[in-house]
Chain A
Amino acid sequence: MSYEFDFADVFAAWPELLQGLVNSLVLSALAMAIGMVVALAGALGTTSGPKPLRWAIHGYIELIRNTPFLVQIFLIFFGLPALGMRLSSNTAALLALVVNVGAYGIEIIRAGIESIQKGQIEAGRSLGLRPLQIFRLIILKPAIQAIYPSLTSQFILLMLNSSVCSAIAANELTAVAGDIQSRTFRSFEVYFIVTCMYFGMSVFFWTMFAAIERTFLRKPTR
């Protein structure tokens, strides 16, 4: 192996890399927050909406799940302006992530709604629990327990997927890597460091989500 590693140029660009990391996190968190609102609305629509609405939502879910995110983002960033809707690359990236995670979120939230058992609510009432207690202990907590694992892994998937937004030059970590690479020609070094940064974020979130689950969402042991 005759290659000489040179990480100096990459490390010198640490403020840019850090900014990219922060931007990726903000983008992912925003997309997740808005996406969950979309998902909640969609889940309510599929469980209790009129038939045409249900079909439309199912069509949306299938369409998103069976097409690549890269094509979705191109359609939004390049396609919408052709229909008269001009978006900046950051807005287009956020919109694409919201549309994408919304579709996956609907299925997750619907599973949460379906995990609530009517008999349990009646049991709670007959035990003399107040309505707020019933909502908190019998509806909300079990539903969150049921969807927590898929919701958190969906967030990590979203965070990793956000790297694709570099394809439309949105302002996130992978795009920063591309900038540094084109300036320093240290392709391997840049992508290696950035890959480690993504892995660091994943490990951080895995650990944090597991700690939250252990602390707040422990199920009673039988």
Chain B
Amino acid sequence: MRQLGPNDIIFILAAVRWTLVLSLAAFLGGAIGGVLVALARTSEFRWLRLPATGYIKIFQGTPLLMQLFLAFFVPGLFGWSVNPWTAAALGLSLHASAFLGEIWRGAIENVPRGQWEAATSLGLRYAPKMALVIAPQAVRIAIPPTIGFLVQLIKGTSLASIIGFVELTRAAQVINNATFRPFTIFALVALVYFLVCWPLSAYSKRMERKLLVASR
């Protein structure tokens, strides 16, 4: 065992970049998947709605940790070996696709019915109707819960440490195993997560309140 030195602290603090990179990758992957899920979920075709609903239910009804384990082991079935980074990014992206899909479905359905009818009666087809009429209004509604979910996602990246990806939490464990100062180290890590997540939470809450006032 050795003393907890400044280099250890720097190692832990620097590992936050992997938490941020993983969060960003998962959010981008989840945004692409989430748009597809939301569109399928609000589609007029049953054969698109049903699988999208099932996809959302499966990810809402199982632990994120299990999703990450399966993202790690399933590619192996096809003979692809994945490293922890790929597995974590894949698992979190699929997870985010389901949750963002559900959030954005709600936002799309919240656009007043009259807007859909007006767009249709103007002769707009599906794509321009969605892109020019529905999406701009849905985005406004969707921003606060989307940011709220981003906070969930950032916290969720800590589970990538369990499948062996070295991000903030894993870095803390590594240093703790060598120096055994658990209280200091994990309190520091909690503080770093807090500094990343709290401004986002506060922003999301403020936006939500603004929307509530605007809709009154």
Verify B198–A174 contact, CB threshold 8 A.
Answer: no
Binds B, one of A9-17, A63-71, A135-143: A63-71
Q: Which residue of A lies closest to B67 (CB)?
A: A195
Binds A, one of B132-140, B183-191, B206-214: B183-191
Q: How far is the CA of A69 from the CA of B70 in the complex (A)?
A: 20
Interface SS majority for chain A: helix
The residues of A that contact B155 with a CB separation of less than 8 Å are: 66-69
Q: How far is the CA of A192 from the CA of B62 in the complex (A)?
A: 11
Q: Does B93 sit within 8 A of A, measured CB to CB?
A: no
The residues of A that contact B187 with a CB separation of less than 8 Å are: 75, 79
Q: How far is the CA of A206 from the CA of B169 in the complex (A)?
A: 32
Q: Does B42 sit within 8 A of A, measured CB to CB?
A: no
Verify A75–B183 contact, CB threshold 8 A.
Answer: yes
Q: Does A194 sit within 8 A of B, measured CB to CB?
A: yes
Q: Does B65 sit within 8 A of A, measured CB to CB?
A: yes
Q: Does B77 sit within 8 A of A, measured CB to CB?
A: yes
Q: Does A83 sit within 8 A of B, measured CB to CB?
A: yes
Verify A188–B190 contact, CB threshold 8 A.
Answer: no
Verify A66–B193 contact, CB threshold 8 A.
Answer: yes
Q: Mark A70-85, 1 if CB is under 8 A from B, else 0.
A: 1110110011111100
The residues of A that contact B201 with a CB separation of less than 8 Å are: 62, 65-66
Verify B76–A188 contact, CB threshold 8 A.
Answer: yes
Verify A161–B63 contact, CB threshold 8 A.
Answer: yes
Q: Does A198 sit within 8 A of B, measured CB to CB?
A: yes
Q: Does A55 sit within 8 A of B, measured CB to CB?
A: no
Q: Does A23 sit within 8 A of B, measured CB to CB?
A: no
Task: Mark out the residues of chain A between 10 and 40 whose CB falls within 8 Å of any chain B CB in the assembled complex.
Answer: none
Binds A, one of B29-37, B100-108, B157-165: B157-165
Question: Chain B nearest CB: distance from A209 CB in Å?
Answer: 13
Verify A67–B76 contact, CB threshold 8 A.
Answer: no
- Asked, given contacts A66-B193, A74-B186, A75-B183, whether A166 binds B65 with beta carbons under 8 Å apart, the answer is yes
The residues of A that contact B81 with a CB separation of less than 8 Å are: none
Tell me the count of chain A residues lying within 8 A, CB to CB, of chain B. 40
Interface SS majority for chain B: helix
User: Which residue among A3, A65, A83 has the maximum number of chain B CB atoms within 10 Å of its CB?
Assistant: A65
The residues of A that contact B194 with a CB separation of less than 8 Å are: 62-63, 66-67
Q: Does A148 sit within 8 A of B, measured CB to CB?
A: no
Verify B176–A78 contact, CB threshold 8 A.
Answer: yes
Q: Does B78 sit within 8 A of A, measured CB to CB?
A: yes
The residues of A that contact B182 with a CB separation of less than 8 Å are: 74-75, 78-79, 81-82
Question: Chain B nearest CB: distance from A195 CB in Å?
Answer: 4
Q: Does B11 sit within 8 A of A, measured CB to CB?
A: no
- Asked, given contacts A66-B197, A69-B155, whether A198 binds B66 with beta carbons under 8 Å apart, the answer is yes
Verify A75–B190 contact, CB threshold 8 A.
Answer: yes
Q: Does B88 sit within 8 A of A, measured CB to CB?
A: no
- Asked, given contacts A69-B155, A71-B189, whether A191 binds B162 with beta carbons under 8 Å apart, the answer is no
The residues of B that contact A151 with a CB separation of less than 8 Å are: none
Q: Does B58 sit within 8 A of A, measured CB to CB?
A: yes
Contacts A70-B162, A156-B61 known; list 19 others, CB within 8 Å.
A66-B151, A66-B193, A68-B158, A69-B158, A71-B158, A74-B186, A79-B182, A83-B183, A160-B61, A166-B65, A187-B69, A188-B73, A188-B76, A191-B70, A194-B66, A195-B62, A195-B70, A202-B61, A206-B61
A-B contact pairs, 15 of them (CB 8 A): A62-B198, A66-B151, A66-B198, A67-B193, A71-B172, A71-B189, A74-B182, A75-B186, A79-B182, A79-B186, A174-B66, A188-B73, A188-B77, A198-B61, A202-B61
Residues of A within 8 A of B (CB): 1-3, 62-63, 65-72, 74-75, 78-83, 156, 160-161, 163-164, 166-167, 174, 187-188, 191-192, 194-195, 198-199, 202-203, 206
